[in-house]
Structure 1
């Protein structure tokens, strides 16, 4: 549902009036209503003000909106619409004058309006929702309402206390005046009776006034004690609410941000959290001011019986200031993390935000933020406050200082680093068999600023997620293993950057599935994960209680292989992401299935049935297995496996086109015609092979040496299956036992044996020798078989 539709459905009464106050002459709400669909379709939140290309896009948005307003005005021709027409014309002219010189002004205004709508709708939905999250949010808003009413009430009582104390001071001064008069009369000689009566009257008045002063003093003391206790309760409630927001909600957001590094879904929005933190800052600051005011009132009239409010107020001042300090330091966060695999001499970026900066007016004197890289040991020392690590670093970063900027439209105080470059890195001594791709660093962001006119000074810092520094592209695979393990299994409050050495397989399986799904369009099913588990543990019925160590994950090679489990998984993941995204997402690739299981399944199917699985022996390879007649055993079937296709093969010709080239591949397992399955992934062929220069364009196709099956271009799905001419001896054996060595294969003289030479240079498993080297791509052209064979002679 569109946002504007939600606004109209969810908001009523006061919430509508609050939203209307956001709109004004800068962006009338009737413009929002008239062009709602277009407004929500534009990339307002992705435009960056310091990007010249984005500035050009913003200018186009202004021009489009003005034109739409003017066109809409011209459509209103009836007398009833005359006033609306004039208003739209006025708005169009106003927009052109206000926003054409600086189009980002419109971007900021629209962002602010849309953000306000999102927050209002979110609150309305949570208020009416029954989910656990909605209930939690509703409770938080209720606590804020209660604390705001409480703060308003204590402010009113404080004013009453101040008035009563001012009246007390006046009465006290009157008492002093009477005391002075009586003293003067006492020094005079005995006079007439009227003078003595006046002295008696003044004395009675003084006694009455003193009794009133004593009563008022007790009342003032009681009011101060009552207020002090109320402030104490308010501080406790603020502490509970702040702990919940910072230690649960914000930590949860940071955890989601870390899991997003492995591909987990992540909303990424900080708007609700910022709203809560700003409300906390406002409440804490208001109560801090009130506590300081009552402290001042107590100092003016130091009425204290030993159990007075003075000591309590001193403690409260310390408590409320500590709450503010904790809030400020905790809300200095990394909104956009730097990459967790940092390549030396490559540019990278990050965004840091102070979520309470706007409320505390920090932007009035914008602070600078500095970034530096520190080691794991330095990060530990920093958290333990063992030494001032903020002056240390483990490398040099260029363009590492930026000034925080305040965005008036959304109230955000942030700084974006876009051109940082790691120029130098200092590595620690290796620990045991640890490699450089297991060494973790972190980017330290730090700043300093004052609040309250210089009254409070804050030194804030925050650490990025762990990062691995590489110097070459071939280190990326193992670096990503370190990052995936850390992101998946890091615990809250850990010592940097400790992770468990062993984890349950179901947890690792979930992390692998998340990584695969986020990059390849769709995740792994239970059969895929069971196959992956068998690569580590061997065949078992249940892997739910098995534990996987880091060594099994990415240190020790798999059984009878020279690569680790992660290297195998990463190579498949990268191949799928780069070249097989479409077929994988359509579930056309079986992928993680053993050769034996593939053979067993195919032997039950008709001739020409095929499936695709990832190679066990070659990293980043995918092979095609298909069932055909056994040339040496009439009436029996044989499963053939093609040599794996890899990244270099798909750079030349796609998987879909390679499948199209091979007429003996008829149905994708179990029974899907290959055109129905892969037709959408075939390249479009031109009707004429002659180009403008008079030359004939050749066509690249895949062929299988040893099988005489010419391509039928008119109907590529019709196989022309001939008896395989090579290898005659091994194919007469069962599919799983074809040949013990490459010398067992006999090749006829009329067959090109280059595929065999290429195969001999491969890192292969002897059990895979039956895989035939068909992924040789060559130009093929037959003038007699092509349409329009009367070609002009080239000049």
Structure 2
């Protein structure tokens, strides 16, 4: 089944996540009509190779034009033509960007499919998608609507008060203009009594309006404090989790709606208070409640506006290099990165020339970091209305670059205990908001960044990003790795599974996670044990020259580049100990094999099969792990298909018959085979006798033999385990 068909069969909550990342940059209509063709292209590779991206873009336009000509529905054909013209104009000079967008969309689809297929959600994901979320948001919608309605009704009340006051003012001035000789007349006395009654009514209405305004202001204050601010904090926490592979981040448009309606209500109350100030210039009296209460109410409203506007200035997209879209918050020096800030208050009266300035490591205390950097490119841009995104006010910095500051000859920067990838930095944003006489300084900052100077530091940097965003919601805790907290296995295992669903399209099941947990914790896995940062990333696995994270990250890279289709199909058990492997294969038919990742090599995969002799115990035979160097030229499915051994001069035959538990080999891997089988030399090696096991062939010896002998036909490094 195609990936797009799998998407269409998901529950509505997952479809809403898919809807989030399809927009004018890559419309869903195109994804629908070109589904099969799009899934057949290598967008991941094209996103890093300009010539390939250009070819794919040209073919993309050809496919879309052909679909337009074949479309029978007039409206659909019209929409496709319009999309064709828009995409052609948008990407004809930036085909890499389009390849990156499509690659990212396909990757997110695989991640969502993987999430939907898991029977249980982890504790982090449950906390982010709890059953109360819908009711909470519905309550906020209702509360904002009530506030908005009350404020608009207050406009009518103020207008009524103005009419009552104008009537009183007119009659009062008319009375003042009359002849003093009539002062004691019965008519004059009656008029004075009427005026007194009107003044009493006016005083009552003024007190009533001020009381209602006070209640509305209190309600807004309560809403902002008890619901809106926590919802914003929850969104920021979900953004952290999305950065490290968690659920797709949604809800910003909804937040903008709440912020905007609340801000509109506050500015409207401010105008109403200004109007009351105008009224007392015409009519006031002793114990008039307006001059007594209005100043304090104005201060409350300004305070609420000030804090609402300041908190509405957010980083919508955290800093990220386009070359590594799945690994935000890692920046390589002198490589372009992008970031985007947004104002969640959408008001037509706002001065839209909001100039945003970005600064790196603003006001960082001396000695906090070993290295210092500055922004090499233009660091100031003007916010604008984004037509394609709910008309929000935003600005995207697309071409930022960092450069390290050089110290004078003979001097060094600060030296500390933290490694390069543990050193955290920050990108700050500042702007000035002006409206209705209010001048508000806006400031926000990115999540902590890791700055690297070499791509070899990328795995360590990503480990730091994961650890930080997993364990803290403090956005400016740049000293985090001075004393990093421990992680529980339940927390860490969920994030590790996300890495596989994000980067490889399929998460890890309980059994696979259990093996990883045992590798980290041993027998302590069954206990509520915590994992130290050093254990996860810095210390080598006992008896190995690499750490746990280096080992796991190398497997992720291997899957992504060489094993992706087989991994997505679920045919790689992957994380299986040798003991478990034997237990699984022991009772199986001869030729049953399974695929697992090497524990002794970085980024290696091996297969083991079982042989059931007529007399005696089952024998288990494995091969030297295949690493990226060997798989770069040999598709793994073809290796499985063509793998043969020879023993005692017999005819070469494949020992691999059934993929565990009992699936015929060709049924499992057939769709991934190349059309041509290997036609190499008929030279094979005789495997060691099962009764006299030998150690596996060394990688160096294998490479020597591999140059001379066809790899498909080598019983390479076969050994009895």
Normalised by the length of structure 2, the TM-score is 0.73
1:513 paired residue number: 497
Structure 1 residues 235 and 56, CA gap change in structure 2 (3 angstroms): farther
1:411 paired residue number: 391
Distance in 1 (CA, whole Å) between partners of 2:194 and 2:63 is 73
1:301 paired residue number: 283
Deviation at 1:231, TM superposition (A): 0.8
Distance in 1 (CA, whole Å) between partners of 2:307 and 2:616 is 80
Deviation at 1:423, TM superposition (A): 2.2
Q: Which one of 366, 369, 373 corresponds to residue 356 of structure 2? A: 369
**Contact 2:263-2:308 at 8 Å conserved across structures:** yes
Work out whether 1:352 is the aligned partner of 2:341: yes
2:304 paired residue number: 323
Distance in 2 (CA, whole Å) between partners of 1:338 and 1:367 is 20
Deviation at 1:40, TM superposition (A): 8.0
Distance in 1 (CA, whole Å) between partners of 2:330 and 2:555 is 20
2:700 paired residue number: 758
Q: Which one of 392, 395, 403 corresponds to residue 423 of structure 1? A: 403
Computed over aligned residues only, the root mean square deviation of the Cα atoms, in angstroms, reads 4.2
Q: Which one of 642, 666, 670 corresponds to residue 679 of structure 1? A: 670
Q: Give the 3-state SS of the residue equivalent to 1:732 in structure 2.
A: coil
1:24 paired residue number: none
Deviation at 1:208, TM superposition (A): 3.8
Alignment of 1:468-617 (within 5 A): 468-491=450-473, 495-496=477-478, 498=480, 501-540=485-524, 542-543=526-527, 545-617=528-600
Distance in 2 (CA, whole Å) between partners of 1:313 and 1:57 is 67
1:227 paired residue number: 209
Larger-Rg structure: 1
**Contact 2:276-2:290 at 8 Å conserved across structures:** no
Structure 1 residues 411 and 171, CA gap change in structure 2 (3 angstroms): same
Alignment of 1:142-153 (within 5 A): 142-153=142-153
Alignment of 1:39-118 (within 5 A): none
Provide Cα deviations, 1:124-155, integer angstroms capped at 9, x if missing partner. Answer: xxxxxx96333223222222332232112211
Distance in 2 (CA, whole Å) between partners of 1:553 and 1:396 is 32
2:608 paired residue number: 625
Q: Give the 3-state SS of the residue equivalent to 1:398 in structure 2.
A: coil
Deviation at 1:447, TM superposition (A): 1.5
Distance in 1 (CA, whole Å) between partners of 2:63 and 2:266 is 41
Distance in 2 (CA, whole Å) between partners of 1:379 and 1:143 is 47
Distance in 2 (CA, whole Å) between partners of 1:171 and 1:361 is 41
**Contact 2:332-2:451 at 8 Å conserved across structures:** yes
**Contact 1:58-1:103 at 8 Å conserved across structures:** no
Which is further off, 602-611 or 339-348? 602-611
Distance in 1 (CA, whole Å) between partners of 2:391 and 2:573 is 50
1:166 paired residue number: 166
Structure 1 residues 425 and 436, CA gap change in structure 2 (3 angstroms): farther
Deviation at 1:571, TM superposition (A): 1.5
Normalised by the length of structure 1, the TM-score is 0.67
Distance in 2 (CA, whole Å) between partners of 1:485 and 1:213 is 74
1:666 paired residue number: 657
Distance in 1 (CA, whole Å) between partners of 2:167 and 2:230 is 48
Distance in 1 (CA, whole Å) between partners of 2:500 and 2:621 is 29
1:138 paired residue number: 138
Q: Give the 3-state SS of the residue equivalent to 1:459 in structure 2.
A: strand
**Contact 1:642-1:774 at 8 Å conserved across structures:** no
**Contact 2:373-2:403 at 8 Å conserved across structures:** no
**Contact 1:231-1:291 at 8 Å conserved across structures:** no
Structure 1 residues 620 and 311, CA gap change in structure 2 (3 angstroms): farther
Deviation at 1:62, TM superposition (A): 12
**Contact 1:351-1:416 at 8 Å conserved across structures:** yes
1:716 paired residue number: none
Distance in 2 (CA, whole Å) between partners of 1:448 and 1:459 is 5
**Contact 1:358-1:411 at 8 Å conserved across structures:** no
Q: Which one of 721, 732, 742 corresponds to residue 691 of structure 2? A: 732
Deviation at 1:319, TM superposition (A): 1.4
Provide Cα deviations, 1:456-504, integer angstroms capped at 9, x if missing partner. Answer: 1122121112210000111011101100111212236774564851121
Distance in 1 (CA, whole Å) between partners of 2:60 and 2:200 is 66
Distance in 2 (CA, whole Å) between partners of 1:487 and 1:254 is 11
1:190 paired residue number: none
Distance in 2 (CA, whole Å) between partners of 1:616 and 1:59 is 46
**Contact 1:372-1:445 at 8 Å conserved across structures:** yes
Q: Give the 3-state SS of the residue equivalent to 2:385 in structure 1.
A: strand
Q: Give the 3-state SS of the residue equivalent to 2:626 in structure 1.
A: coil
Work out whether 1:402 is the aligned partner of 2:381: yes
User: How many residues align structurally?
Assistant: 599
Distance in 1 (CA, whole Å) between partners of 2:65 and 2:538 is 58
1:314 paired residue number: 295
**Contact 2:447-2:476 at 8 Å conserved across structures:** no
Distance in 1 (CA, whole Å) between partners of 2:60 and 2:594 is 49
Structure 1 residues 648 and 40, CA gap change in structure 2 (3 angstroms): closer
**Contact 1:376-1:440 at 8 Å conserved across structures:** no
**Contact 1:367-1:449 at 8 Å conserved across structures:** yes
Structure 1 residues 780 and 510, CA gap change in structure 2 (3 angstroms): closer
Distance in 1 (CA, whole Å) between partners of 2:639 and 2:57 is 45
Distance in 2 (CA, whole Å) between partners of 1:66 and 1:627 is 55
Structure 1 residues 597 and 629, CA gap change in structure 2 (3 angstroms): same
Distance in 1 (CA, whole Å) between partners of 2:73 and 2:610 is 65
Alignment of 1:270-281 (within 5 A): 270-281=252-263
Distance in 2 (CA, whole Å) between partners of 1:605 and 1:588 is 17
**Contact 1:55-1:103 at 8 Å conserved across structures:** no
Residue ranges of structure 1 left out of the alignment (5+ in a row) = 6-35, 44-50, 74-87, 105-129, 186-197, 382-392, 687-697, 708-723, 743-754, 760-771, 783-795
Structure with higher RCO (Cα < 8 A, 6+ apart): 2
Deviation at 1:222, TM superposition (A): 2.2
Structure 1 residues 209 and 424, CA gap change in structure 2 (3 angstroms): farther
**Contact 1:516-1:573 at 8 Å conserved across structures:** yes
1:263 paired residue number: 245
Structure 1 residues 337 and 163, CA gap change in structure 2 (3 angstroms): same
Deviation at 1:66, TM superposition (A): 9.9
Structure 1 residues 541 and 447, CA gap change in structure 2 (3 angstroms): closer
**Contact 2:574-2:597 at 8 Å conserved across structures:** yes
